[in-house]
Structure 1
Amino acid sequence: MRYRPLGQGTGLRVSELALGSGLFGTRWGYGAQPDEVRRMLHTYRDLGGNFIDTADFYQFGEAETQIGDFLEGQRDQFIVASKYTLGGASSPAVATTGNNRKNLIQSVEASLRRLRTDHIDLLWVHMSDGLTDVEEIMRGLDDTVRAGKVVYVGFSDFPAWRISRAATIAELRGWTRVSAIQTQYSLVERASDREILPMARAFDMGITAWSPLGGGLLTGKYRRGESGRATTFGRVIHHESTAQKKLVMDVVLEVAGETGQSASQIALAWLLAQGIVPIIGPRTTEQLMDNIEACSVRLSGEQICKLDEASALQPEFPADFLADPFQSDRLAGGDPAKLYETTSKPVR
């Protein structure tokens, strides 16, 4: 496995695949037993993985506990990311959830105990609670960093405008920067293309993608009649429910046939080609090994274009309006080449 910087400027190098731990445990009624979790963690480590993603909510704290047991004696070799907002109990009290500072402090302390460590490398705000102002969130996050309990901070499942406001406030106040984002992104879920990904790239944030296989859809196993999250777990699942998703699956399987790779490896290789860190969520070591093999897959430009075209969103306002040649020609006095210079960095 190779390594890449998580965003520009942090200097933090993470493995190109992050190991998600949502299925580390069985308290949700679906997941992996402890022995299988240990096998996955050891396999991931032995193949060069160093980026483990968890949350207090995952398996109601069981995932963090199992990761903490694994980390004993080798903590410094890993970048450990966790999240707060939803709480670690199966039936949480109101005072133990949300983005507020009280829950931030108590959640971080509880995660540290379960992980058996004195710091979390990357703390995500798991999702918006619809109540807490981002200035309050950023001040609380900065306090945890200054206290030495958190190193980097990021946002998961927030709208782009709130993350950009948080990043700007932090920059103006001299607080800890927003280093990365986490969003649902895959060949069957590209809504983040509209606002979230352009925002993250403009602010030089690292980009991680959860459910990179569309909850198992992109493995092709449901076409084969196999069971999985869609048949057993039933949450955050994609189905071939639209003509476009059916087309995406057709193209993924076509490219898989051309390369001799599995469908899941093609879907992950496409994400890696976008400079995004997929957070894989295996339930078995066999699934983990299949996912890691994606790191050796090199798609041709034609294959990437084929996947891009099948999965692309229809443009919406203002993107479609701004793409109208009339506007660009008008601004350029009839010759866009005179006005625009090619740049690798998006306009802020």
Structure 2
Amino acid sequence: MRYRIFGHTGLRVSTLALGAGNFGKGWGYGAEQDEAQRIYATYRDAGGNFIDTADQYQFGQSETMLGQFMAGHRDEIVLASKFSLGDSPDAGLQRSGNSRKAMRTSVEASLKRLKTDYLDLLWVHMPDGITPIDELARSLDDLIRSGKILHAGLSDFPAWRIATAATLADAKGWAPVSAVQLEYSLVERSAERELLPMAKGFNLGTVAWSPLGGGLLTGKYRRGETGRAQGLGVVIHGEDDARKTAVVDAVLAIAEEAGVAPSHVAIAWVLAKGVLPIIGPRTHDQLTDNLKALEFALSSEQLLRLDQASAFKLGFPHDVVAETAPALAGGKLEMIDFPVRSVR
């Protein structure tokens, strides 16, 4: 395991984060406690130190299990949890959403389940469409000043809202927004439009959920396996268009050439883009497979093939800028000679 400095923080995190969404059976699909313990222990033995959970995962069971697993070495862990969706199906109006009240209530409950007095990172799980961004940023600042969380991040938020929160925090002297969590994989690259450039501009720690495209990039659905499609009743990505088919074809071809599993190719691609993947194994075998991805690096030729197979149009204004920028950046013409160009 290798480590990275996480954005503009001083946190030193392992290059693979362990997502604990499958710790428990509260959703009717996941890992029993013994299996979850094995997953956690093997991840730690491999040098992993970055754990990602949420109050909503398995309706609190994930946090409860982690509270037991971390006993005796809590301070060695970079622990992240989330709030917004409520920790039970009957969470109600006051224990869900992004409000200051929901945040405080959720964090207090998470700390009890996790048997700790602080979180290294609190994610706002996703926007509720109601709470003003200044209330959100100030509420996170209050929790940081109280010592109950050390850093704050936004998950599944649009880039403009994250940028607004980061700018407000800087202007007001509040604790900064430190991180962004987003979906990113070979079959879901739309974060490259706004989210990843924004994160780079603000030097935010950036983590990706579903680096395997919900299992699509492992090739298991082509083999007839059902996985979460049957157990959880949710499929993040299906092979439902020509681009996705081309991506899976390219991943499988490179995996065969390199003598590695397709999952290693998919995870290595995310790492090559400078984004930290969150792996979310349900079984110990899945974890050991994911960890082997750290032993594999894509060649420049393989990276190019994957980029080309998964290419998509960024849309306006990115395509216009890409077409026009080379002329603007040429630097060979005097301004007086610069031709007038139409971008339409």
Amino acid across the alignment from 1:152 = H
Q: CA–CA distance in 2 between the matches of 1:337 and 1:73?
A: 67
CA offset digits 1:1-43 (Å, max 9, x no partner): 1001111x31211000000011110010110000000000000
Change (3 A) 1:329 1:57: closer
Query: Displacement, 1:331?
Result: 3.8
- The residue aligned with 2:192 is 193
Q: CA–CA distance in 2 between the matches of 1:5 and 1:334?
A: 36
- Asked if 2 retains the 8 angstrom alpha-carbon contact of 1:329 and 1:335, the reply is no
CA offset digits 1:291-345 (Å, max 9, x no partner): 01101101100000111111121130000111123xx36645763899xxxxxxx
Quote the sequence identity (%): 57
Secondary structure (helix, strand or coil) at the match of 2:143 reads helix
Secondary structure (helix, strand or coil) at the match of 2:82 reads strand
- The residue aligned with 1:230 is 229
Query: Displacement, 1:236?
Result: 4.8
Change (3 A) 1:232 1:329: closer
Identify which range, 144-153 or 231-240, moves more after superposition.
Answer: 231-240
- The residue aligned with 1:341 is none
Structure 1 residues 99-118: aligned runs within 5 Å: 99-118=98-117
Query: What TM-score comes out, normalization by structure 1 length?
Result: 0.94
Amino acid across the alignment from 1:124 = W
Query: Displacement, 1:95?
Result: 1.0
Amino acid across the alignment from 2:75 = D
How much is the aligned-residue C-alpha RMSD, in angstroms?
Answer: 1.5
Structure 1 residues 171-190: aligned runs within 5 Å: 171-190=170-189
Query: Displacement, 1:87?
Result: 1.1
- The residue aligned with 2:332 is 335
Amino acid across the alignment from 2:64 = T
Q: CA–CA distance in 2 between the matches of 1:330 and 1:291?
A: 44
Amino acid across the alignment from 1:261 = V
Secondary structure (helix, strand or coil) at the match of 1:234 reads coil
Change (3 A) 1:168 1:37: same
- The residue aligned with 2:164 is 165
Q: Do residues 122 (structure 1) and 121 (structure 2) align?
A: yes
Secondary structure (helix, strand or coil) at the match of 2:167 reads helix
Query: Displacement, 1:171?
Result: 0.6
Structure 1 residues 78-157: aligned runs within 5 Å: 78-157=77-156
Secondary structure (helix, strand or coil) at the match of 2:313 reads coil
- Asked if 1 retains the 8 angstrom alpha-carbon contact of 2:154 and 2:181, the reply is yes
Q: Do residues 5 (structure 1) and 5 (structure 2) align?
A: yes
Structure 1 residues 227-266: aligned runs within 5 Å: 227-266=226-265
Secondary structure (helix, strand or coil) at the match of 1:225 reads coil
Query: What TM-score comes out, normalization by structure 2 length?
Result: 0.95
Change (3 A) 1:337 1:309: farther
Secondary structure (helix, strand or coil) at the match of 2:123 reads strand
- The residue aligned with 1:46 is 45
Q: CA–CA distance in 1 between the matches of 2:257 and 2:334?
A: 38
